[in-house]
Amino acid sequence: MDKYEILRKIQSEVEGMVQPKECAFLYDCALQCSQGVIVEIGSAQGLSTISMAMASKMGKKVKVYAVDPHNGGGATPDPGWWDMNDPGTPDPKYYINQGVSFTRFWANVQKFGVDDIIKPIINYSEIAIKEYPGEPIELLFIDGDHRFNYVRLDLELWSPFMLPGSIVAMHDSTYPGVRKAINEILPKLNFHNFVEEPVFHATKGQN
Ligand SMILES: C[S@@+](CC[C@H](N)C(=O)[O-])C[C@H]1O[C@@H](n2cnc3c(N)ncnc32)[C@H](O)[C@@H]1O
């Protein structure tokens, strides 16, 4: 199967929020990875995860760490923590239900035969970082909680592991929280070459 047949099959069999041209972009980025792993924050049922893992399998077979609490509901259950200037993560009592919707994600992963490439971390990004083995990252795809404080944490916590020249791609970049993080946080973390389409992405400079 060629790239377009693979992507069409994934699109037709896995539900998700990422558009075909965005999956194609992630596929191309993943195919290029050879020096470090891929990390995805926000996998849901695995549409983008499997797109990247299938490419990795065609390429250098780098691992895809797939971070998602799979809590059955989506965002971090913390309505009070919204775009405040509060440093640090919310109270751990808000972190509930991890894993309840993991089964469907993993069934999709197995259907496409990429369970050897994908390494799930079933937790919220800001907690998952403590379980991460610390491998250098060549591609970081952020599609988790889109509120500013969480996108900021995604960037601040995971970017130290990113290799010079590696790519951060951010979904839903027109959402206010994501856009604010692009404008305010990425430059501070030494990202450059901002490109808006088909998925917003930027390149990490030298540390
Ligand atoms: C928009 S969906 C991801 C869509 C997915 N990339 C796709 O291809 O369909 C957002 C996901 O982010 C997850 N999420 C929410 N808060 C998160 C957090 N703090 N860390 C990691 N994932 C989070 C949700 O559980 C949800 O599955």
CA-closest candidate to residue 29, choices 62, 66, 73: 62
Residue 101 CA to ligand 1 centre (angstroms):
12
Give the model's pLDDT for residue 75: 55
Give the model's pLDDT for residue 91: 59
CATH topology (fold) of 3-204: Rossmann fold (3.40.50)
Name every protein residue with a CB atom under 6 angstroms from any ligand 1 atom: 16-18, 41-44, 47-48, 67-69, 71, 74-76, 124-126, 143-145, 150
CA 157-109-32 angle, 5° bins? 60
Residue 206 CA to ligand 1 centre (angstroms):
29
17 CA: nearest ligand 1 atom: 9
* Domain residue spans of the chain: 3-204
3-state helix, strand, coil split of the chain in percent (to 5) is 40, 20, 45
Give the model's pLDDT for residue 206: 77
Give the model's pLDDT for residue 82: 42
Give the model's pLDDT for residue 71: 84
Q: What is the mean pLDDT of each run of 10 residues along the chain (207 residues)?
A: 95 96 98 98 97 98 96 60 49 70 95 98 91 97 91 95 98 94 97 97 90
Whole-model pTM? 0.93
Sorted by sequence, the CB contacts under 8 Å of residue 8 that are 6+ apart come out as: none
User: How far is it, in rounded angstroms, from Cα 196 to Cα 169?
Assistant: 10
User: How far is it, in rounded angstroms, from Cα 4 to Cα 7?
Assistant: 5
Give the model's pLDDT for residue 39: 98
Give the model's pLDDT for residue 65: 98
User: How far is it, in rounded angstroms, from Cα 4 to Cα 21?
Assistant: 10
